[in-house]
Amino acid sequence: MLALAWANLLHRKLRTLLSALAVGIGIMLMLVSRGLASGSIAEVNERMQSVDAELVVLPAQDNIIFTNGAPFRGIHERHLRDLADADGPLADLVIPAFFGQVKMGGQQQRLFGVDPRQMAAFLGERRVVRGELFARAHAFAKRVARGERPPEDMDNLAYQAYLADGLELVIDDRLRRVGGYQVGDEITIMGQTFRIAGVIEAGVAGRVFAPLQTLREIVVAGEQTASMYFIRLRDGLEPATAAERFATSLGSGARVELKSDYGRLLRESFASVNLYMNASSGVALVVCFLFILLTMYTMVVERTREIGILKALGVTRGGLVQLSVLEALLISVIGVVIGIALAFGARALIGVLVPLLTVALPVEQLLLAIAVGVIGGVCSALYPGYRAARLDPALALSHE
Amino acid sequence: MNDQPAIDVRDLHHAYTHGGVTEPVLHGIDFRVERGEFVVIMGPSGCGKTTLLNIVGLMMRPTRAAAVQVAGRDVLGLNDAARTALRREQIGFVFQRFNLLPTISVARNVGLPLRLRGIAPDGQVRVLLDEMGLAAQARKKPGGLSVGQQQRVAIARAIVAEPTVLLADEPTGNLDSANAAVVLDLIQRFHRERGLTVIMITHNEQLAVEADRVLHMRDGRFCE
């Protein structure tokens, strides 16, 4: 039967190829959309895990991806610093982060506003590969820490001079390569011209860092606000217990999560987008398999006489369904191979066009694609196979 | 079991229904063919010859019959699967239009009945094709053969699994006289050498000469 199914497909090479291509495009869409989602989530999570902290404090909202602004105020930071037990403060280090947006390397990047004096917590073992780590911004941070503020009536030139030391950026090496940036390049963010001061190894929480104090000055006139906090705990504290205590202390406006849970939170936040992407690729796949169904059905109609011959030779109804399923399976398997090849091709293309996007194509996703192809192939062959099996042999033989 | 006739049909009626109109085709046919017999059925187009052949070949069910036995087995009560199995095991077909599968080679066409019985076609196909002068065509697709060669392939396919009955529906109808003679000669040879029961429909009086018995049909009945 397999040889016959294969021969039947080869007899109509172009149609077989087009059908397989349709399946391949569907499989590719499924793999790439899922790969984009899971790859991006995994990559962001991996980078967040590099921060030297155990807890994250986030705004009390469901979605942690689409967060903007800085809902936390200075009082939150003080609460976090001051929360203590008999052995002293629970937090060894509270790291505020202030998020902005910047378009670099051909796509929007989250701008991580961090205190230059706390960069070590983000850097860990990673090195500065070019330039320096906020050399001048340190001085600016110290001035702000001393309470220096520009007077209300300061003119623009004087304001620029006040900000000048704080207008530094540190980027990661991957962004540098993708965007072709050099130390000293100038980038305009929110009307201010920042200068790239240094480049660090990739894998840190953000791709673009700016001094926290600078962003606060530009966006909220120096208010001690933050988008989120990382908390490094005092040695010996149990993170989950400490998280509960911080959450109670902060009240309803914040959620305190284990940093190790960040991946799960990302996936949950991405669920609705994932659902949409899965639904879209699912619809595409259904259309592809309808295409196979139509192909198989057309083949049944075209080959009515041959089906009559097979019946005359003693092929059972089950055998005819099996033949139909085998043909559809062969188309699907070829389609899956094409789809996987296209997915790797698309990943390579995305790597060239949008290099900072990560498309994950793990083995389990490829196995899922094979399973979808096989199940879809079988399902789309059942009705045409049933029609073939139901044909009256004598009538089928007299079919012109 | 082998004492029983190859085909035994009693009081067979059949009618086609198209768009609510019933058209009787066979009227109380009694028809018995002994094992090893060569029977030719002749008659004008539309008289019911092919319908009768399709019924004894288990390709269709009669509207009504007292009995239809094939290879000693009563087939009226058999379900579709059992009829298919019996057809596969006991009956070989040769058609006017050859009815070879165009997508597979000559050798695969001939070997198909064996494969359907779960037998790997080792030497039989090669020997048979050799015997029929088709060895050189074994790997070709049927479309690449002459009509005479195609009908010889069809005969090889029909007999390769050694059926009890060979049903041939105007096997020479599409052939010139030279090819028709070759085909008839082959059928006669297999009938003679292998004791094959043959029921052949033909319009050609000359081809009927070699038959053990010639039956004439008219208006759905056998006549003298």
Contacts 24+ apart (CB under 8 A), A8-11: A8/A299, A8/A303, A8/A323, A8/A327, A8/B103, A9/A327, A9/A330, A9/A331, A10/B103, A11/B102, A11/B103
Q: Are residues B219 and B47 in contact, defined by beta-carbon separation less than 8 angstroms? A: yes
Are B86 and B75 within 8 A, CB to CB? yes
Instruction: Work out the minimum CA distance from A344 to partner chain B, whole angstroms.
Output: 34
* Same domain membership, residue A21 and residue A124: no
Q: Do A16 and A135 fall into the same domain? A: no
Q: Is A237 inside a domain boundary? A: no
The alpha carbon of residue A282 is apart from the nearest alpha carbon of chain B, in Å, by 34
Same-domain check for residues A74 and A29: no
In a domain, A52, yes or no: no
Percent over 70 (pLDDT), chain A: 98
Q: Are residues A91 and A209 in the same domain?
A: yes
Q: Which residues of B touch A392 (CB under 8 A)?
A: 60
- C-alpha dihedral (A300, A302, A305, A309), degrees to nearest 10: -50
Q: Does one domain contain both A324 and A384?
A: yes
Per-residue pLDDT for B169 more than 90? yes
Task: Name the residue among A11, A313, A392 with its Cβ closest to that of B103.
Answer: A11
In this predicted structure, what is the pLDDT of residue A222? 85
Phi-psi region of A203 (alpha: psi -120 to 50; beta: other; left: phi over 0): left
Judge whether residue A68 has pLDDT over 70: no
Q: How many CA atoms lie within 13 A of B45 on its CB side?
A: 1
Token pair listed for A64: 């942690």
What is the pLDDT at residue B210? 80
What residue of B is the nearest CA neighbor of A318?
B81
Would you give the DSSP letter of residue B207?
A: G
**Residues A203 and A141 both lie in one domain:** yes
Residue that wins the pLDDT comparison between A306 and A150: A306
Q: How confident is the model at residue B2 (pLDDT cuts 50, 70, 90)?
A: low
Burial class (CB in 10 A: 0-12, 13-18, 19+), B93: buried
Res. A385 pLDDT band, cuts 50 70 90: very high
Q: Is A200 a member of any domain?
A: yes
Interval A48-72 mean pLDDT = 82
Pick from A226, A260, A295: which residue ends a domain?
A226
Q: How many helices and strands (H and E) does chain A possess?
A: 15, 12
Per-residue pLDDT band at B143 (split at 50, 70, 90): very high
Q: Which of A206, A179, A181, A191 is nearest to A118 (CA)?
A: A206
Q: From CA A340, how far away is CA B109, in angstroms rounded?
A: 36
Closest partner residue to B60 among A310, A313, A394, by Cβ? A394
pLDDT band of residue A386 (cuts 50, 70, 90) is very high
The reply to whether ipTM tops 0.85 is yes
- Considering the domain architecture, whether residues A178 and A106 belong to the same structural domain is answered as yes
Residue A32 has pLDDT above 70, yes or no: yes
pLDDT tens digits, B70-104: 999 999 999 999 999 999 999 999 998 889 999 99
Q: What percentage of chain A has pLDDT greater than the value 90?
A: 52
* Cβ B25 vs Cβ B43: under 8 Å: no
The Cβ-side half-sphere exposure at A95, using a 13 Å CA radius, reads: 28
Residue A59 lies in a domain: no
**pTM for this entry:** 0.79
Q: Say yes or no for a CB contact (<8 Å) between B104 and A308.
A: no
* CA–CA separation, A188 and A215 (whole Å): 13
pLDDT band at A55 (very low <50, low <70, confident <90, very high): very high
- Domain match, A304 and A352 both: yes
Model confidence at A184: pLDDT above 90: yes
pLDDT over 80 at A11, yes or no:
yes
Q: Do the chains contact at A4 and B116, CB–CB below 8 Å?
A: no
DSSP H or E run through A175? helix A173-179
Q: Which of A194, A226, A258 is the last residue of a domain?
A: A226
Of A164, A195, A226, the residue that ends a domain is A226
pLDDT of A65 reads 66
CB contacts < 8 A, A to B, total 63
- Whether residues A88 and A201 share a domain: the answer is yes
Say if A310 is an interface residue toward chain B (CB within 8 Å).
yes
Do A127 and A201 reside in the same domain of the chain? yes
pLDDT at A66: 62
Greatest mean pLDDT among A59-63, A89-93, A251-255 lies in: A89-93
Span B21-40, pLDDT tens digits? 999 999 999 999 999 999 99
**Residue A265: closest CA among A277, A273, A257:** A257
- Give the gyration radius of chain A's Cα atoms: 30
Give chain A's mean pLDDT: 89
A249-288, pLDDT tens digit by residue?
888 888 899 999 988 888 888 888 888 888 888 888 888 8
A265 in a structural domain: no
**Could you give the domains of chain B?**
7-223 (3.40.50.300)
Average pLDDT value over all residues in chain B: 91
- CA-only gyration radius of chain B, Å: 17
* DSSP-based three-state secondary structure for A342: helix
A124, A206: one domain: yes
Residue B190: which of B213, B214, B209, B162 has the closest Cα?
A: B162
Work out the minimum CA distance from B85 to partner chain A, whole angstroms.
6
In a mutagenesis test of the B interface, which of A15, A309, A320, A397 is the best target, namely the one with the most B β-carbons within 10 Å? A309
Residue A120 lies in a domain: yes
- Give the C-alpha separation, B33 to B166, whole Å: 12
Is residue A390 situated within a structural domain? yes
Q: Over the stretch A12-22, which tens digit does the pLDDT of each residue have?
A: 899 899 999 99
Rounded alpha-carbon distances, angstroms, from residue B117 to A200, B60, B88, B98 = 72, 22, 7, 21
Q: Which of A338, A63, A277, A397 is nearest to B96 (CA)?
A: A397
Mind listing the pLDDT tens digit for each residue in B41-55? 999 988 999 999 999
Point out the residue among B54, B88, B99 whose CB comes nearest to the CB of A314: B88
Number of domains in chain A: 2
pLDDT tens sequence across A134-144? 888 888 888 88
Tell me which chain B residues have a C-beta less than 8 angstroms from the C-beta of A312: 57, 59, 87, 93, 99
A399–chain B Cβ distance below 8 A for any pair: no
At B146 the pLDDT is: 93
Which chain A residues have a beta carbon less than 8 Å from that of B57? 312
Nearest by CB to B103, from A8, A308, A393: name it: A8
Extract long-range pairs of B17-23: CB within 8 Å, 24+ residues apart: none
pLDDT of residue B16: 92
- Give residue A368's pLDDT band: very low, low, confident or very high (50, 70, 90): very high
Show the domain range for A361.
2-42+271-397
Same domain, A75 and A219: yes
Rounded Cα distance between A312 and A369, Å, is 38
